[in-house]
Amino acid sequence: MIGASTIRKEGRAKVLGTAKYTDDLDLPGALHGVTVRTRCARGVLRGFTFLDGVPWDEITVATAADIPGRNIVASIHDDQPFLVEVGGTISHPEQAVVLLAHPDRQVAEKARGLVRLEVDELPAVLDIPASLACDPVIHGERNVLKEILITKGDADAAMARAARVFEGEYRTGAQEQLYLEPNAMIGTVEEGPAGREVTVSGSLQCPYYVHDALIQLFGLPAERVRVVALEMGGGFGGKEDFPSVIAGHAALLALKAGRPVKIAYDREEDMAATTKRHPSRTRVRTGFDAEGRLVAMDIDFVLDGGAFTTLSPVVLSRGAIHACGPYRCGDVRVLARAVATNTPPCGAFRGFGAPQSLFAIERHMDHCAREMGLDPVDLRRLNFLRKGDTMATGQVIKDDLDLAGLMDRAMEEIAFRDLQKAYRVRNAWDDPIKRGVGLSVFMHGCGFTGSGEAHMASVAGVEGREDGTVAVLAASTEMGQGKNTVFCQIVAETLGLPVDLVEMAEVDTRFVPNSGPTVASRSTMVVGKILEDAARGLRLALLQGGFLAEPYTPAQFRAAVAAARAKLGSLKAYGQFKANPEAAWDDKTYRGDAYPNYSWACYAAAVAVDLTTFEVKVEDFAAVQEVGRVVNPTLATGQIQGGVAQGIGWALWEDVTFREGRMVNNQLTNYIIPTAADLPHIRVAFLEAGNPFGPGGAKGIGELPMDGPAPAIANALREALGDLRLDEVPMTPERILQRLEEARHA
């Protein structure tokens, strides 16, 4: 079962068009909810008025004054309100102030334009430089949402001894997740026997995050709040924390209206108001010895967190831990800061901080190689981490790690050396099309950072059902990545059953335990492992209870389940996350095992750039990764190809433009993501190496493809354009032209 390309479990409903996404559900009597936003980057809310033009008596209105519990979206820090209160501070232009609902979508829409806000405006902070300059201070004492310092050895002393020292500054922009299904949520509030009960169902990655947010918003005990994850049209991190906000809004309106309320964002609102990838600025200083060995690294990593803390501390943490790339270095300092600005909060997006810092180090290594007159491939080979080496946090590499072999494999896949030779000859010709090949080598820590998993202590289970089949009980959600199928494969393998006897139970907090959020490539590796334990428990119970004897056939298993249920009433087995007793992590000093393990990869890109239009085309792309055991090769390949496409989009086209804190290109006409015609076929290869941690040896795969494309493409462009350095993402035609002009005038 593990290792087989089992067909996607919910695939049939998806190709038939019968799969129901949130906005496909038509609840009788439901109202449509809309959100009135601040439209001011920073200020104080003085009040609001309702102008004539709609029948206000038919419209449900909810404001901060209607909140029964706390006006705080539960997250890492309590700094984000659900709704701005009168007299309260406005921190970004998309903050919600008033919620409206009406049976007719159009009427609700019209009413939204008829709410006037009175605001005293204040000067705003709109980017990283302004925030670092404290011009003005908008958060705490110096606009810092979170700061992390990682040190190993003495970076200053080592730098002073280095034969050569190089510096670079690298920047990346915001990126919109652009899941194809915009955010949508349905809220219901009812009076139950014990009092008020709140139910929310919708498009969300992390049911228990939403659950927690609603418990606090309504001040209710956990058992009277219920969250159901519906079919989801993509998430990529964009439906990790933001759904708590919409869920709260829908439920508040439902409370006021006494009827279910659906809030479905349209594309423009979704793009403007929801979270994006953090923009970044990274300064890298490296020292090398005379042979080209890295002896010192000093990295200053800054993320733009937006107006509230939300997930920035953990995004920052991952970015900081990945900042040194896959290289060995004795003396390291990484200073990482997430700073506040008056834009909507940035959030989770595939890669979670690592793409930003890996872009910097992988661009930087190429730059250093060329400055030293070395081949970037050779410089990497000389400096790769190997078994027994320690990383920046002090984590020791325990696996047999062969990054040089991984790099060779990727180069072979794309015929790197042949292309390089041919391109170098042809680029000298008088032809406006210039070509280059480049690569990046990187890693991605699997699962939560540091002690995250131990704190979470996730639980998942399996249930023998009446018909003898098995249901998987987990709060992990399916957003296209294939979790439904992979979980069933893992359980089927453990039980020795065909995979069609195992099904996912509905993801409903009333019935499934908290297996943690669906993020960080943790589903297969972490939750999959817990499910393996749970399935073993179920089998053992059947064997020891005398219901089953080994070896057994699927029919005998089904009969045993039915018999056990008849006798015991119900038949469930659970597993819980067990921390590796040998892994140690200290949150205060950032020392220890940052992740249970890492997946490793080398990506190579061949690009062509047209010097008349400055457009870049990726002509070939190879993604080679070492991910432990591949549970489902077809699904894994598809997930990587999709991620690479997103990575190419970030590298070349996806350019979120903010004006006064608002995203101004919040439409698909002016925010450009790749189409089928813009991309090459993406070659994917997996190398499997043992990993005792995950189920059957599996590690995480889903985020790697976001980390590698941008630096590989930038390095390829450097080859194509001679000396020109492109150290900024996205590498749009305008930016390439600008760099060329600067180089010409330098």
Partner 1 sequence: MPETFRLDFTVNGQARSLDTHPMARLLDVLREGLGLTGTKEGCGEGECGACSVLLDGRVVNSCLIPAVQAQGAEVVTVEGLAAGGGLSPMQDAFLAHNAAQCGFCTPGMLIAAEDLVRRCPAPDKEQVREGLAGNLCRCTGYSKIVDAVQAVARKEGQP
Binding mask 480-499 for partner 1 (x = CB under 8 A): xxx-----------------
Q: Quick one: which segment of 5-13, 254-262, 301-309, 571-579 binds partner 1 (CB under 8 A)?
A: 5-13
24 binds, among ligand FES, partner 1, none (CB under 5 to 8 A by kind): partner 1
104 contacts partner 1 (rule: CB under 8 A): no
Query: Of the two residues 10 and 127, which places its CB atom closer to partner 1 in the complex?
Result: 10
d(CA 740, CA 746): 10
Q: How far is the CB of 358 from ligand FES (least distance, A)?
A: 25
Q: Is 480 a binder of ligand FES (CB under 6 A)?
A: yes
How many angstroms separate the CA atoms of 116 and 114, rounded? Answer: 6
Token pair of 456, please? 């979470």
Q: Give yes or no for a cis peptide into 711 (omega within 30° of 0).
A: no
| Residue 180 found at the interface with ligand FES (CB under 6 A) | yes
Q: Rounded to a whole number, what is the distance in angstroms from the first to the last CA of the chain?
A: 61
Under the criterion CB under 8 A, does residue 450 sit at the interface with partner 1?
no
Rounded distance, CA 645 to CA 732, Å? 16
If one counts every other C-beta atom within 10 angstroms of the C-beta of residue 26, the result is: 8
Q: Report the C-alpha gap between 155 and 162 in whole angstroms.
A: 10
**Count of residues that interact with ligand FES, criterion CB under 6 A:** 3
Selected from 459, 535, 635, 710, the binder of partner 1 by CB under 8 A is: 635
Q: Which residue has the tokens 């990993």?
A: 691
With CB under 8 A as the rule, give the number of residues binding partner 1.
Answer: 58
State in angstroms the smallest separation of the CB of 741 from ligand FES.
37
699, 628 Cβ separation under 8 angstroms? yes
* DSSP-derived pairing of the beta strands 572-576 and 502-504: unpaired
DSSP string, 350-393: TTTTHHHHHHHHHHHHHHHHHHTT--HHHHHHHHB--TT-B-TT
Task: Give the distance between the most distant pair of CA atoms in the chain.
Answer: 85
Work out how close the CB of 267 gets to ligand FES at its nearest, in angstroms, rounded to a whole number: 8
In the set 88, 234, 537, 680, which binds ligand FES (CB under 6 A)? Answer: 234
Q: Which stretch binds partner 1 (CB under 8 A): 232-240, 499-507, 525-533, 570-578?
A: 232-240
Quick one: tokens of 337? Answer: 């800061």
DSSP 14-34: HHHT---BGGG---TTPEEEE
- Pick 65 or 676: Cβ nearer partner 1: 676
588 touching partner 1, by CB under 8 A? no
CB-hemisphere CA count at 13 Å for 621? 27
Residue 24 found at the interface with partner 1 (CB under 8 A)? yes
What SS3 string covers 537-578?
A: HHHHHHHHCCCCCCCCCHHHHHHHHHHHHHHHCCCEEEEECC
CB closer to partner 1, 276 vs 370: 276
CB 302 within 8 A of CB 284: no
Residue with smaller CB distance to partner 1, 172 or 203 = 203
Alpha-carbon distance 587 to 20, whole Å?
A: 42
Alpha-helical regions (H) of 481-524? 483-495
Instruction: Report if residue 313 touches ligand FES, rule: CB under 6 A.
Output: no
Q: Which does 16 bind (CB under 5 to 8 A by kind): ligand FES, partner 1, none?
A: partner 1
Nearer to partner 1, 346 or 635 (CB): 635
Rounded least distance, CB 217 to ligand FES, Å = 31
Nearer to partner 1, 676 or 746 (CB): 676
Q: Which stretch binds partner 1 (CB under 8 A): 107-115, 185-193, 376-384, 678-686?
A: 678-686
Q: Among 332, 335, 277, 263, which residue's Cα sits nearest to residue 306?
A: 277
Closer CB to partner 1, residue 514 or residue 625? 625
User: Please, which residue, 8 or 662, has the CB nearer to ligand FES?
Assistant: 8
- Residue 196 touches partner 1, criterion: CB under 8 A: no
Give min distance, CB of 237 to ligand FES, in A: 15
Tokens 């249970």, located at residue: 596
User: Which residues in this chain contact ligand FES in the complex, by CB under 6 A?
Assistant: 180, 234, 480
**Residues in the site for partner 1, rule: CB under 8 A?**
5, 7-8, 10-21, 23-24, 26, 177-182, 231-234, 236, 266-267, 479-482, 634-635, 637-646, 667-669, 673, 675-679, 681-682
